[in-house]
Structure 1
């Protein structure tokens, strides 16, 4: 029996706000989680795509984000807005100071 195509479920604005208010960004781990959620919401990434992002997949100057082998093992290019890019620049500085040997964002 064929499974009918399903559209993805989209969070409402209050649900999104509530979700992003949960992590305490003063701490390293929750700050990382907050940024993962923001990137996923802003760029439309799947969880597996977000967690496999490496620093070389993101151009901090242009906002170009390369997703390697996403759904269907296909590569795709996304663009990050300036506000999100600014947050990611700050994160990369914090990440470099806290976990300098980390390969993933």
Structure 2
């Protein structure tokens, strides 16, 4: 509608178009800023979860090595226990949902 405003209102119409464009640019900048803040928050959370996951794998691997090296458990026994615990949540799928059952 820029041409219509210009033809009917001249420079004043052009100024109205410019103000409309400035408002649209402000709105887009605000949306980009909000998206960047959200992305930053998600990125920080993901980095924290990756660090926690790495630490958990380190401790789990250390415990498995300790148990095997002390003879407290064999590889077959460990695999059987893993399968048993995997089934605690109703299906054997390589995941465990829920707490630690003893």
Normalised by the length of structure 2, the TM-score is 0.24
Higher helix share: 2
Q: Which has the larger radius of gyration?
A: 2
Higher strand share: 1
Tell which has more relative contact order, 1 or 2 (C-alpha 8 A, sep 6+): 1
